[in-house]
Amino acid sequence: MLYWLSNGCIALGLFFWFWGTFPLLGRRSVLFKLHSLSIADTLGSLAIMVGLLIKIPREWPLLVLALFSLLVWNTVLGYVLAYCSSVEMDHD
């Protein structure tokens, strides 16, 4: 049962990775593309990490640290991108 659950989480993560890549081919703005890619990448990476956590529970400290890092740094990156796209730069 755990074998199928862990492989299902990993497969779901890979699906999110590839699904997030498709908006890059569209005609939307660069910020929309980055936003959709970062969300899909975060969800995919989290699903893969949960799958690995189920598959190899003896490595839980390292995998929980990776989960926390993904959540924090991808969120911070999203805020930085949003800030950089909304602030007018001074050109003296």
Domain ranges of the chain: 2-85
User: pTM of the full predicted structure?
Assistant: 0.78
Dihedral angle over CA of 29, 81, 12, 47, nearest 10: -170
Predicted confidence (pLDDT) per residue in 56-88, tens digit: 989 889 888 988 998 888 888 877 777 776 656
What b/e string do you get for 72-88 counting C-beta neighbours within 10 Å, with b at 16 or more? eebeeeeeeeeeeeeee
Average of pLDDT values for 17-37? 84
C-alpha to C-alpha distance for 72 and 47, rounded to whole angstroms: 16
Average of pLDDT values for 36-65? 90
Give me the percent of the chain exceeding a pLDDT of 70: 90
